[in-house]
Amino acid sequence: MRKMLFLATTILAAALSSAANAEQKEVTVWSWFVQSTMQKSIAAFEKAHPDIKVNYTYYNYSPEYITALKAAAASGSLPDVIGLQPGSLTQQYRENLEAVNERAAKQWGDKWAEKVFPVNRKQMLMGNPKGDENYYIIPQESQVLCIWYNRKIFEKLNLSPPKTYADLKAAAKALTDGGYIPMFQGAADGWQNENVFLMLANQFAPGITDKAQAGEAKWTAPELVAAMKAWKGLFDDGIFQQGALGAHAYPTGAQLFAQGKVGMMALGSWWMQESKFPPPLSEFVQNMDGFDFFYLPPVKDGNSASPPVGGIDIGYGLTKNGGKKPEAWTFLAELTNGVGLQEALNDLNDLPAFDGNAPKGDITDHVKDMSARFMADLPKAENQRFASPAVAEALDNALAGVAAGSIEPEAALATVQAATEKALAAK
Amino acid sequence: MTQLPGAETRPALFQCKMASIMSAEAMRAGAAVAAVKRRSASRASTLYLFALPATLLFVVFVAYPILWVAEQSLYAGKTDGGVVFAGLANYTTILSDPTFWIVVRNMALWGAITIPVQMLIGGLLAYFIERHTHALRGFFRTMFFLPVVTSVSVISLVWVQIYAPYYGIAQEYLKHIGIVMMTSPIGDPKTAIYALIVVNIWQWTGFSMLMYIAGIANLSSEVLDAARIDGARGWRLAVHVIVPMLAPATKSLLLLGVIGTLQTFPIVHLMTGGGPNRASEVFGTFIFKQSFVLGDTGTGAALSVIVLVVALALSLIQIAVLGARLSPAGREES
């Protein structure tokens, strides 16, 4: 009798549970986005949409995330929503993604794209076949690249943010003499090298790298050769630390920078999130008290300081699987321009991709000021992304080769030109 | 019916009885043979059933992926996301890519340096631990084996810090003797591959040591005693008696070393990413970049097939030249 009672109770409980689950819809999401921040965004979303449950899977970007995406795409088992970078990553999965134009127009109005910062909008279409004006990625966050400096160390050494290349060299020397790493460059990472090169190139001719990757200018153009020589100069003139080519920006460089052992580092607006990480935090990172930023000063007489360079930090795509579930779009929309985004901004993860959003909550005036300066620069930012991974890869190799002294700037840029021509021909 | 010799001299009744007994015996014997045959067939099918799970696993997780990759290597991606039959074009593209030959050179260096050095240091460690330590034997075995079971991510992070000039761990010690590191060995295209080889040797020497320890533990004490009676001691005993008797362990390490070399990926990916400027690229990182970073699955698959063929050829050559006695205990393994 007891057994019968137990069985009946179990069946009833299972039936009730499955009935409850049937009412709650589920959305699956994969990304490399900071897990703690994503959990806050998901909690806010689920509070606003109690009938939808979000299952988030976090991956390290490389190699875990990109290999997981590849395997899932091959087997048709991609989740509903996937984290994407604009350009090459989005293009690799374009066939597995839904165009979101109509959904976005329905959600945010016909002129929704105008609310997205121009550089982001450009990147959203990057790499699309000619004539394809569909958006396959909705950006969540933007970034602006810059040179961060430790203002407490600068103050201690009577330094001010460099305005000229001579200032920069003098600051690097003073920092080195003071026992600090002058400017930490994780030159073993292609992305950080690309970022600094883009700052330099856009200083010589704004927008030239975009033209070069589109085939409208040559990578061997005098401005880009000059930028490549200036890049080599950053190593030779002691701006970067010794042995930079074997160093990684994360975690090594970021840790040293946060600990106050580094004077300057080329990062971006995302660095502000350090102040929101769990304690203990260093005196420099606490409320970002120790940090401020500047743009790379002119490396040649007649140049201006580097313009803001940036664009989409992370965006999300709706997969074909997710396209069958209205709740997947609901989540994507809230994550990129709704309650989910707000949580990410409050965590200072980065800048918004849609205009009209700003961080709220427990943020100091200093952080608010820096955030406002980034936001003011974002609309005029130059593009930092590449449409073709082969071109980015060729540039990474060229930058490393020139920095190591194993190839001359002109020859190195010729390899990038060759890669660009090949990529454009394949298109 | 079979007639027994001399049976014709016996009475007819007896003959008749004998005939019927013989007939029954023959039937029983026939039935027994049939039963044995049935049992034998049944046993064979049972044995095949035992092999079935392993065969299925092999087919699903080894044979099918190999065939799938081989098929992929004959196709090239199109810009619209589809694929087109490319024949051997992916192979010719790979073979004409200068990076491929950098990879081949790096792999040759990797194998030529890591395998003998690991075997030599591992063998020496095993000999000294087994012969000259007693109470602390377990401690030394564990300590030298520890890098093998340590996460590659941790090893990579630590070694990047060790190699870092100016603020690195090695520099902290070197500065006491007046040495200042000007560059990181992994940041210089000329030294990057050697710096990674050092890390690999540090990590995997403990495995060679363990294999030799197993080999030493299985050495015949009679042979060793006989050698001692014949006057072999110390270095002579080690070189002329113990080393030859450890040949199966050495052959195993050689085979595993070659396969391990071709499978190298995490240390290189995490420490240099194959750079600077592809100077430390290995097959693993090259395949990864082609397939996952550049999205060129065709050439990535072609590279994988090339690595598979090379691994297979090298393994077969080793087995043909050195024989198949591969276990540390010296048993024949087929």
Tens-binned pLDDT, residue by residue, of chain B (334 aa): 334 444 444 455 555 565 566 666 666 767 777 777 777 777 778 888 888 999 999 999 999 999 999 999 999 877 666 788 988 999 999 999 999 999 999 999 999 999 999 999 999 999 999 888 888 899 999 999 999 999 999 999 999 989 988 778 888 888 889 888 878 899 999 999 999 999 999 999 999 999 999 999 888 888 888 988 988 888 888 888 889 999 999 999 999 999 999 999 999 999 999 989 999 999 999 999 999 888 888 999 999 999 999 999 998 998 888 876 655 544 444 3
CB contact under 8 A, B166 and A246: no
- Sorted by where each starts, the structural domains of chain B and their CATH numbers stand as 102-322 (1.10.3720.10)
Query: CA-CA distances (angstroms) from residue B205 to B121, B145, B211, B258, B260?
Result: 7, 8, 10, 15, 13
Whether B160 sits inside 8 A of A396 (CB atoms) is no
Which residues from B are below 8 Å from A389, CB to CB?
Answer: 293-295
SS (H, E, C) chain A: CHHHHHHHHHHHHHHHHHHHHHHCEEEEEEECCCHHHHHHHHHHHHHHCCCEEEEEEECCHHHHHHHHHHHHHHHCCCCCEEEECCCHHHHHCHHHECCCHHHHHHHHCCCHHHHECHHHHHHHCCCCCCCCCCCCCEEEEEEEEEEEEEHHHHHHCCCCCCCCHHHHHHHHHHHHHCCCEEEECCCCCHHHHHHHHHHHHHHHCCCHHHHHHCCCCCCCCHHHHHHHHHHHHHHHCCCECCCHHHCCHHHHHHHHHHCCCEEEEEEEHHHHHHHHCCCCCCCCCHHHCCEEEECCCCCCCCCCCCCCEEEEEEEEEEEHHHHCCHHHHHHHHHHHHCHHHHHHHHCCCCEECECCCCCCCCCCHHHHHHHHHHHHHHHHCEECCCCCHHHHHHHHHHHHHHHHCCCCHHHHHHHHHHHHHHHHHHC
Q: Which of residues 285-304 of B touch A (CB under 8 A)?
A: 288-289, 291-295, 297
Q: Residue A43: what pLDDT?
A: 97
Give residue A65's identity as a one-letter amino acid code. Answer: Y
Reported as half-sphere exposure (CB side, CA atoms, 13 A), residue A201 has a value of: 29
The better pLDDT of the pair B32, A288 is held by: A288
pLDDT tens digit sequence for A345-363: 999 999 999 999 999 988 8
Higher pLDDT, B332 or A54: A54
**Rounded Cα–Cα distance for residues A30 and B296 (Å):** 22
Q: In Å, how far is B168's CA from the nearest CA of chain A?
A: 10
> pLDDT at position A9, please?
61
Supply the pLDDT for residue B181.
82
Query: For B240, which DSSP code?
Result: I
For residue range A228-253, what is the model confidence (pLDDT) as tens digits?
999 999 999 999 998 899 999 998 89
Does the fold of domain A144-309+384-426 match that of domain A26-142+311-383? yes
Set of chain B residues whose Cβ sits within 8 Å of the Cβ of A92: 295
Domain ranges of chain A: 26-142+311-383, 144-309+384-426
Q: What is the pTM of this model?
A: 0.83
Does any CB of chain A come closer than 8 Å to the CB of residue B186?
Answer: yes
Cβ distance A396 to B275 less than 8 Å, yes or no, reads yes
State the Cα–Cα distance between residues A253 and A142, nearest whole angstrom: 22
CA-based nearest distance B190→chain A, Å: 9
Among B79, B23, B111, B175, smallest CA distance to A387 is for: B79
Determine the residue among B163, B184, B199, B299 to mutate to test chain A binding: the one whose Cβ has the most chain A Cβ atoms within 10 Å: B184
For A160-212, what is each residue's pLDDT tens digit? Answer: 999 999 999 999 999 999 999 999 999 999 999 999 999 999 999 999 999 99
Q: From the list A243, A261, A393, which residue is nearest B181 (CB)? A: A243
Q: What is the reported pLDDT for B334?
A: 38
Contact state of A188 with B181 under an 8 Å Cβ cutoff: no
Closest partner CB to B293 (pick from A248, A393, A407): A393
A residues 129..158 contacting B (CB < 8 A): 129
Q: Spell out which residues of chain A touch residue B161, defining contact as CB-CB under 8 Å.
A: 252
- For A144-309+384-426, CATH gives 3.40.190.10
Q: Report yes or no: B20 and B28 within 8 Å, Cβ to Cβ.
A: no
Sign (positive or negative) of CA dihedral A398, A214, A144, A151: positive
- From the candidates A61, A64, A75, A245, which should be mutated to test the interface with B, based on the most B CB atoms within 10 A? A245
Say whether pLDDT at A270 is over 90: yes
Contact B318, B258 (CB under 8 A): yes
CA–CA gap between residue A314 and residue A38 (Å, rounded): 12
| Range with the largest mean pLDDT of A59-73, A124-138, A144-158, B38-52 | A144-158
Is the pLDDT score of A427 beyond 90? no
Across the interface, which of A66, A188, A389 has its CB nearest the CB of B272?
Answer: A188
Best residue in A60, A242, A252 for a mutation probing chain B (most B CBs within 10 Å): A242
Nearest CA in chain A to B79: A427
The band of A223, judged by pLDDT with boundaries at 50, 70 and 90, is: very high
Å between A336 CA and nearest CA of chain B: 25
d(CA A300, nearest CA chain B) in Å? 27
Please indicate whether, in this complex, the C-beta atoms of B187 and A404 are within 8 angstroms of each other. yes
Q: Residues near A73 by Cβ (< 8 Å), separated by ≥ 6? A: A93, A96
Q: Give me the residue from B187, B269, B294 closest to A246, CB to CB.
A: B187
Residues of B in contact with A241 (CB under 8 A): 166-167
Top residue of B169, B174, B268, B293 to mutate, by most chain A CBs within 10 Å, is B293
Does the structural domain A26-142+311-383 have CATH classification 3.40.190.10? yes
Inter-CA distances, A302 with A160, A195, B229, Å: 21, 22, 88
The pLDDT value recorded for residue B18 is: 55
CB-nearest partner of B164 from A189, A247, A396 = A247
